[in-house]
A and B are shown apart, each in its own frame.
Chain A
Amino acid sequence: MRDDNSPASDVSPGANQGQQETTHFGFKQVDASQKASLVAGVFDSVAAKYDVMNDMMSMGIHRLWKRYTLDCSGVRAGQHVLDLAGGTGDLAAKFSKMVGATGKVVLADINDSMLKVGRDKLRDKGLVSNLEYVQANAEALPFPDNSFDCITIAFGLRNVTDKDKALASMFRVLKPGGRLLVLEFSKPTNDTFSKVYDWYSFHILPKMGQAIANDSESYQYLAESIRMHPDQETLKSMMENVGFDQVTYHNMTGGIVALHRGFKF
């Protein structure tokens, strides 16, 4: 098992020459080339019940975490926003209103099932004019350099195989003066709270997944992937290493979630 404070890179070279690179998938070590398809399997399985499960698991607090992300985005009318790993489009829907008719929001996700659920949901809300949908890998974003005023990735970075590569790719497509917002599960700041949170994550969460989405394994992966994700300071260093300036983070709900913010100048 990888320690939370281990070096930032997710991908480890094989011990012997000729061995394939490995990475973590929850608590398991898998070939780096396999992680994307394994993650895709998880999200294919949970896509239909994703919103319901988010509300159940977080008791609705995920909406407030996302609200804070929007408040920190500084997005104005006419700007271009990339909502990476945008899933079912919670942030994209709000951004669509914020940028108005003269702006543009790109909802990108590597997973086709999630993208379809998001697209259907936003169209049902009547949001069509300034939204585009792109199936894209965060490690190799298919956009020109300096394209977006703001990029958000909410609860998506921990599923990316090579996070450094993904952050570098985001830095490339961000306009100078633009900002990246990473909303992600993190490390609780209080030890007692952390133990309660661990118990909830490994005992309650999979049971809720089984009861509601008939899929305990995916939610077991969710709990494990949260533990394997870099803590607040490590992620901050990773963002600084790829070139982001003025990187700060803000803990929410005792550090269960942190919002990292970095600028490209």
Chain B
Amino acid sequence: MPAAQLACAAIEAVLNALISFDRSATSRGKALQSKRVGVTLAESPWPLAFQFDADAPLTVRVHERVDDDSTPVDCEISLSISTLSELSDASQITGLIKQGRLNVDGDIQVAQAFSQLLGELDIDWEEQLASRTNDVFAHQLFSSVKSAANGFSRVATSLHNTVRNAVLEEKPIAAHPIAIAHFSDQVDALRQDTDRLMVRLEQLENSANSPQGKNA
């Protein structure tokens, strides 16, 4: 089975669906219309190309760049999967390039527009669900999920506080943060004292070994 084509088809379907869910994506992605972005992931054997269509609404075709594909790209991006998540913040691009974790050839504005499009996707999932089911069901489901998430968060915070009190106050089996900080300060002071002593000893040794010292 052509695995690269399967991966491209999946990426294309997901990306186009996400873009279509965000009403402002087409206006935000105007700079990408008719642009072709080459993406090479260090961990992937297939260099990909993202070809944005000229017409609105914004759609993208994702395909593998085969060996003799000489179609020029507006921007070529090379990075690793670990850097992908950081691309969502366009202001980080320059920093990533300086660190050598991202390589961009061509029009940097296209790279930024590509990064912004993906990073700033604003999707109202409740509305998407409502369009496929109905408003009441979607609202109730999302309200339930939100209250369950809040409840889970409250339980997690409460559990954390209980365990913290138990191990620090009731059954002091763990050191209090203030005690740890005090201990760290003391260790630092001791390290500085020993360093000073080492330097003093070296000075004394040097003066004892020097001819003047021997004569004295």
Contact = CB atoms under 8 A, between A and B. Distances in A.
Interface of A: 61, 63-65, 67-68, 70-72, 74, 76-77, 94, 97-98, 100-101, 252-253
Nearest to A100: B54
A67 B4 CA distance: 10
Given A64-B6, A67-B9, A97-B61, A253 B66 contact: no
Contact of B2 (A64, A74, A100, A101): A64
B192 to A, nearest CB: 65
What is the predominant secondary structure among interface residues of chain B facing chain A? loop
A77 B34 CA distance: 9
A67 B10 CA distance: 12
B1 A67 contact: no
A245 B51 CA distance: 29
A72 B54 contact: no
Contacts of A63: 9
Contacts, number: 47
B43 interface: no
Contacts of B170: none
B63 A253 contact: no
Given A71-B63, A77-B34, 18 more contacts: A61-B1, A63-B9, A64-B2, A64-B5, A64-B6, A64-B9, A65-B2, A67-B5, A68-B5, A71-B66, A71-B69, A74-B69, A74-B71, A76-B71, A77-B54, A98-B61, A101-B54, A252-B2
Nearest to B65: A71
What is the predominant secondary structure among interface residues of chain A facing chain B? helix
A63 B54 CA distance: 24
Contacts of A65: 2, 5
B53 interface: yes
Given A74-B69, A97-B53, A68 B2 contact: yes
A63 B8 CA distance: 12
Interface in B34-63: 34, 51, 53-54, 61, 63
